[in-house]
Structure 1
Amino acid sequence: MEFLADYASFLAKTFTVLVAVVVVLVVVAALRDRGRRSGGGHLDVRKLNDFYKELRERLQHSVLEKDKLKALHKAEAKEAKRAKKEGIQKPRVYVLDFDGDIKASATDHLRHEVTALLSMATAEDEVVLRLESGGGMVHGYGLAASQLARIRDAGVPLTVCVDKVAASGGYMMACIGQKILSAPFAILGSIGVVAQLPNLHRLLKKHDIDFEVLTAGEYKRTLTVFGENTEKGREKFQEDLETTHELFKGFVARYRPQLSIDEIATGEIWLGQAALGKQLVDELQTSDEYLATRARVADIYQLSFVRKKTMQERLGVSVSAVIDRVLVTWWERLGRSRFWQ
């Protein structure tokens, strides 16, 4: 028992030291980041042709006989030499990725990526956006869509690929592409506007708690969480939703005039196969298939603006990852135990 007590004391002291070290690191990082100017980051550029070439060559080395492999390499080298001699310049394809959350936070990186590619891209090139988003705040996705409109206004062809979902604000972005490609079971549409909030007024009133809302301007606050909502306030809120919806419909109709906008702007969603029939997309094809095909005739560059994470962010991600692994592990164990019982 004495040994266990000493061991427990040792563990407690060790844990205390570790916590103290983490606290010190967080404080130091916070002080350093406070003096760091915002807007830092850099652009990463990766040539995807090299990735596809590596995949192909790995398979060729495993499958083809040596003489056939040698002949193939000789033919490829001859073709490359001929193209160089004739001065054949391949078109460029710039690949961007947008993984949207409710605030469209990825716009902070998208704006820099668009600025960079527009400094070089011409009408002979192409921009491919791999888009995944279920939508979110109007102003956030409005800004994201405006970044894509810069590409189209510059006369650079824009292709949008949707492998999983582009709904609501996500489709607001997708519709700007001259060509929209969708996986067969991707989710598209949801051209509508929604707003919801709880109201705790009756709960507060039940416990004799007053909540004051003071405004200057008749419609400064229409609906509130804690105050008493009025029918007039609800009507004004609904009116604002309808106005936003009309703007949304007009925006989509501007970039996709072939759509029957009143038919599809009901807030409904469609899977890729049905979306093709509604002309929400132009073709059923995954981004992998499209880019692999383009890599045969064009130089493909993946652009991603990277901002250095702060110490707090790195620690937060690490802690989150550990918690996720623990929860997933225990959930799997629980599921297996139930299955075998």
Structure 2
Amino acid sequence: MHKKIITGVVIAVLLFSLAVAMAFMGNGERTAQKTAAGEKIAIVHIEGTIMSSSPGGFGNPAVAAADQITRQLKEARENPDIKAVILKMNTGGGTVVGSDEIGREVERVRQSGKKVVVAMGEMAASGGYWISCKADKIVANPGTFTGSIGVIMQLTEMKDLFNKLGIEVKNIKTGAYKDMGSSNKELSPEEQEIFQSLVNDSYEDFVKVVAEGRKMDPVQVRKLADGRIYTGKQAKQLGLVDALGDFDTAVQITAELAGIKGEPELIDMTGEQLLWQQILGGLQGNTQLMPIPLEGLLLLPDKVAAPMNTNVE
């Protein structure tokens, strides 16, 4: 029994050592490739649901945390060796605040004289499109899902369910509207009007962002901004994106805009990874963990958003 345990431990140690060696070997190869490259383009990932900050904790779903993304953009903006930025995007949207914070930092990067190009993946909709409109150019795959220009706030009413279960909830409040949106009560017409005004206000901001970013008449934007999604091909025809292609297309366009001659060096701004991420990356032949696939958030009509966490979707 003891021999089997010892043998198992030895095998585990050997496998761990091999994985570490492969990870560092892979990192060494990529470092050598970087050294041989030319002028630098920063790659900033916007993947998952856009939020102002990450909820933290092991096992949480992947989010595009604005505090982390803006920090990466700031680093790229202040680094004199970096000539431009590519936003590699795969998101179905998220909160108004998170989208706006990232968009504002994108504006600062452009104001510093550096070009910003968006490379859309499977999805770059709603809040993702809000951010995209802040860039110099937008490149979409023909099959990308984008657009979804609109704002949604969903409230869950459970009053009838509570009654069936014999649950009674009492709200002790300081004002008439302090408990508006509570799941244990029906939404009054006045409360409905207040919530609608919040959504309308954010919608007007969205229309303005698209109109200014795409240099379109707000009237024309409103015709497209009914919440529907478009394929990359449709978006190109409507003037919502600039070019169709893949990530390499985005790199080529970015290099041309930034005046980079030759093959640019691509710098991933994600930063240092944890050891277990490097090990898994080495085994996959890539130091980056594979992104968690999106579930098509825009296509889920029953997605719930907290009243004070309005989503750009």
Question: TM-score, normalized by length of structure 1?
Answer: 0.60
2:44 aligned partner = 96
Task: Confirm whether residue 274 of structure 1 aligns to residue 239 of structure 2.
Answer: no
Distance in structure 2 (CA, Å) of the matches to 1:247 and 1:296: 38
Q: Is the alpha carbon distance of 1:292 and 1:282 closer, same or farther for their aligned partners in structure 2, counting shifts above 3 Å?
A: closer
- What amino acid sits opposite 1:304 in the alignment? M
Q: Is the alpha carbon distance of 1:218 and 1:246 closer, same or farther for their aligned partners in structure 2, counting shifts above 3 Å?
A: farther
Which 10-residue stretch deviates more, 267-276 or 196-205?
Answer: 196-205
Question: Any conservation in 2 of the 1:184–1:284 contact (CA below 8 Å)?
Answer: yes
Q: Is the alpha carbon distance of 1:289 and 1:178 closer, same or farther for their aligned partners in structure 2, counting shifts above 3 Å?
A: closer
2:177 corresponds to which of 194, 199, 219: 219
Distance in structure 2 (CA, Å) of the matches to 1:48 and 1:163: 26
1:62 aligned partner = none
- What amino acid sits opposite 1:276 in the alignment? K
What aligned pairs does 1:109-124 form with structure 2 within 5 A after superposition? 109-121=68-80
Question: Any conservation in 2 of the 1:95–1:300 contact (CA below 8 Å)?
Answer: no
Distance in structure 2 (CA, Å) of the matches to 1:114 and 1:155: 13
Secondary structure of 1:291's partner?
Answer: helix
Give the structure with higher Rg (CA): 1
CA deviation profile, 1:19-67 (whole Å, cap 9, x unmatched): xxxxxxxxxxxxxxxxxxxxxxxxx9x979927x89xxxxxxxxxxxxx
Q: Is the alpha carbon distance of 1:305 and 1:281 closer, same or farther for their aligned partners in structure 2, counting shifts above 3 Å?
A: same
Secondary structure of 1:95's partner?
Answer: strand
Secondary structure of 2:86's partner?
Answer: strand
Distance in structure 1 (CA, Å) of the matches to 2:32 and 2:275: 33
Structure 1 portions without partners, runs of 5+: 1-6, 8-13, 15-43, 55-89, 315-320, 325-341
Distance in structure 2 (CA, Å) of the matches to 1:144 and 1:165: 17
1:245 aligned partner = 203
Q: Flag the structure with higher helix content.
A: 1
Secondary structure of 2:215's partner?
Answer: coil
Structure 2 portions without partners, runs of 5+: 6-26, 52-62, 280-288, 293-313
Distance in structure 2 (CA, Å) of the matches to 1:175 and 1:265: 14
Distance in structure 2 (CA, Å) of the matches to 1:127 and 1:102: 19
2:33 aligned partner = 50
- What amino acid sits opposite 2:76 in the alignment? L
Which 10-residue stretch deviates more, 262-271 or 140-149?
Answer: 140-149
Question: TM-score, normalized by length of structure 2?
Answer: 0.65
Residue 212 of structure 1: CA displacement? 1.5
- Counting matched residue pairs gives 237
Q: Is the alpha carbon distance of 1:220 and 1:296 closer, same or farther for their aligned partners in structure 2, counting shifts above 3 Å?
A: same
